[in-house]
Amino acid sequence: MLSHLVMHKIADIADLASKESGTSYEEYIRLFSISFDKEFKQYRSIHEVTRFKLERN
């Protein structure tokens, strides 16, 4: 289950992409994807280290 903080960050990203894209669905998806990647890319390495540690045990 996602934490409330993560859900709020995703909702904020969606709201911003919606406002900036106007009526274009393709632009909304593009803006959402870019913002989502920027926000959550920093957490990937931590997850991979944890996963690697768990797999080795």
What's the token pair of residue 36?
């989502």
10-54 pLDDT, tens digit per residue, is 999 999 999 999 999 999 999 999 999 888 876 655 555 555 555
Confidence (pLDDT) at 46: 54
Tell me, yes or no, if the pTM score tops 0.95.
Answer: no
The C-alpha angle 13, 36, 18, rounded to 5 degrees, equals 35
Contact between residue 47 and residue 57 where contact means Cβ atoms under 8 Å apart: no
Q: What is the pLDDT of residue 55?
A: 57
Q: Rounded to whole angstroms, how far apart are CA atoms 56 and 43?
A: 20
Q: What is the pLDDT of residue 32?
A: 94
Q: What are the structural domain ranges in the chain?
A: 4-56
